[in-house]
Structure 1
Amino acid sequence: MDPGPAGRPGQVIRVGRNFLGAPVYVADSVTTMLRGLVAALDRGDYEEEDGYLDVGVEIPSYLDDSKAVWRGEGPIPKKPRKIQMLGVDKVKDFDLEAIRRAPHLRAVTLFGEGPVDLRPLRDVPLEALRLDLNSVDLKQLAGHPTLRVIRLGTKDPVDLSVLRTFPRLEGVELSEAAVQGIGTISDLNGLLSLTLSYEQWRKLDKVPPLAAAGLGDNPTLSQVNEWAARFEPDELLGGHAYCVGRFQPDN
């Protein structure tokens, strides 16, 4: 919609809330992308399993750049300076101390049991952090100067009071997390995007000015309608309210 100097209107870019990394160029147009899919189908280059069709077309991915993205498998590369994004599926078996040698790291995603010692993250210019762990101690990151986006999925309650100490915090997603101190959100004047579950939104008395508000954790349609009704047109800063996940049928 707004291509850069080397781009063109109508080009296809891969980007999204569940897509780790920077936007990736896919094709010069939707037509070009669809022609590649049709050609693969015509030559029989596809597999079907459980109703899902996997078409044999190589779509560019952030994983294609192994120098910038590291999946946390095996020891950290001997020369980690180019690593910008890190994703670890089994953080229990991974030594986070190693990332102190990755000075350009911007985005980290950690999956596993936890708890995890997050203190090594204080030494990198981290901007985006996703933690899907049983328990999380965010106080280990108190005052992080560059952290802008936090997404949590936890079983044990997370103390949110530390969010006040992040000077650049712009986005928070907590719909899959157990939290305590939800009222902290009301004090985050610099927040632009906020995604909570239906129950979390109910407990939040005051909503700070936002550009985008999200409802997660698979709400029912009636819950979506009730939640959306709380936002007046001038309550979002020219932004919008959106629902994350699937609607559930009402009883």
Structure 2
Amino acid sequence: MRANRSPVSSTTPHICQPGWIRFAGGDDGNYLAVDMDPARNGLPGQVIASGRDYDEGPVYVADSLTSLLQEHLELLEKGSYEGYADYISLRRPGCDSGTQQIIGVIPEEVPTTLQAIHVNDATGIVDLSPLTAAPGLRRVHLNRSTTADLTPPRGLPVESLRVALTGGDLSPLAGHPHLASLDLKTTAPVDLTPLRSVPHLHGLDLTGAGTTDLTVLADLADLRYLSLGRQQWAALLDHGKVPPALAAVGLVGDDVTFDDAIALASRVGLDTGDVLRVAGSL
């Protein structure tokens, strides 16, 4: 369920505030919270939605938890909901539920207003073809789900793509004019050459991908963020083929230490003089 956007509480929208009391969340990284420290336009005790998919800040949901529960009960009694295999989605009046979907399978009929879709824990290979019905689609994230064909996103303004690819290749992404972020996992090695012609690719995560030649990455002149595993970084550094414009790097692995990360940042030319160590959970 997606809440309507309206002025809410926080002056730092991307950080969980001490006055936000979380009471509901999901595997998608989003949550509901009771806001006990509202800003000028907020009310103490209001319910807000925030998290990974709320890039513009928290969203007002209800004036209180009691009001929210009452509204949900009324919607259930009216039958204003859609049922899926293991969950239901409430249809709230005035809420444009067609702009974002968090689901377990892509429906045959996709809303033309869809702008973001998260497919979680899908069984079998996900067919992305129905997404071509959404001409404004900008985010496609397959979480713990796989697809075999990246052709459907080729003609869409997708800016953020997260996929696990099995049996396919990256050729449909060649020259994609909008793609800015790619998180790729594969079940077999893939050729990264098509990424050379993606003009606005700024973020790339290949920690779960098998690749044939990482030196191709040196040709990504505008790449700002790159995340790789330990062996992948070693291969890239040994060939001296680090992308020239990196501003941040990621090092992924169960045995990776903080010192390993600092050493890597230094090797790729990043400034490590004022490193800040932060511990916590997300």
TM-score of the two chains, using structure 1 as the length reference = 0.67
1:194-233 map, 5 Å = 194-204=226-236, 205-207=240-242, 208-221=244-257, 223-233=260-270
- Give distance in 2, aligned partners of 1:59 and 1:7: 8
Deviations 1:180-209 (A, max 9, x none): 110011111011111111111111122222
What is the DSSP-based 3-state SS (H/G/I as helix, E as strand, rest coil) of the residue aligned with 2:157? coil
Task: Tell me whether 187-196 or 87-96 shows the greater mean CA deviation.
Answer: 87-96
Gaps in structure 1 of 5+ consecutive residues: 1-5, 15-25, 41-45, 47-53, 247-251
What is the DSSP-based 3-state SS (H/G/I as helix, E as strand, rest coil) of the residue aligned with 2:162? strand
Say whether 1:32 aligns with 2:19: yes
- Give distance in 2, aligned partners of 1:195 and 1:241: 19
Residues 83 and 55 of structure 1, relative CA distance in 2, 3 Å threshold: closer
Runs of 4+ in 1 over 6 A off after TM superposition: 239-243
> Residue 116 of structure 1: CA displacement?
1.5
Task: Tell me whether 58-67 or 202-211 shows the greater mean CA deviation.
Answer: 58-67
- Give distance in 2, aligned partners of 1:133 and 1:181: 17
Q: How many residues align?
A: 207
Deviations 1:139-170 (A, max 9, x none): 12222111111001223112111110211111
- Give distance in 2, aligned partners of 1:242 and 1:127: 31
User: Residue 225 of structure 2 contacts residue 246 of structure 2 at CA under 8 Å; is this kept in 1?
Assistant: yes
| Amino acid in structure 1 at the alignment position of 2:241 | K
User: Residue 147 of structure 1 contacts residue 169 of structure 1 at CA under 8 Å; is this kept in 2?
Assistant: yes
- Give distance in 1, aligned partners of 2:207 and 2:248: 15
Which of 83, 88, 91 is residue 114 of structure 2 equivalent to? 83
- Give distance in 1, aligned partners of 2:11 and 2:209: 37
User: Residue 214 of structure 1 contacts residue 241 of structure 1 at CA under 8 Å; is this kept in 2?
Assistant: no
What value does the CA root-mean-square deviation take over the aligned residues? 3.8
Which of 121, 138, 145 is residue 106 of structure 1 equivalent to? 138
> Residue 178 of structure 1: CA displacement?
1.2
Equivalent in the alignment of 1:10: 11
Gaps in structure 2 of 5+ consecutive residues: 1-6, 25-30, 35-46, 54-88, 90-94
TM-score of the two chains, using structure 2 as the length reference = 0.60
**Greater helix content:** 1
Percent identity of the aligned residues? 33
Which of 168, 171, 182 is residue 214 of structure 2 equivalent to? 182
Which of 135, 146, 170 is residue 178 of structure 2 equivalent to? 146
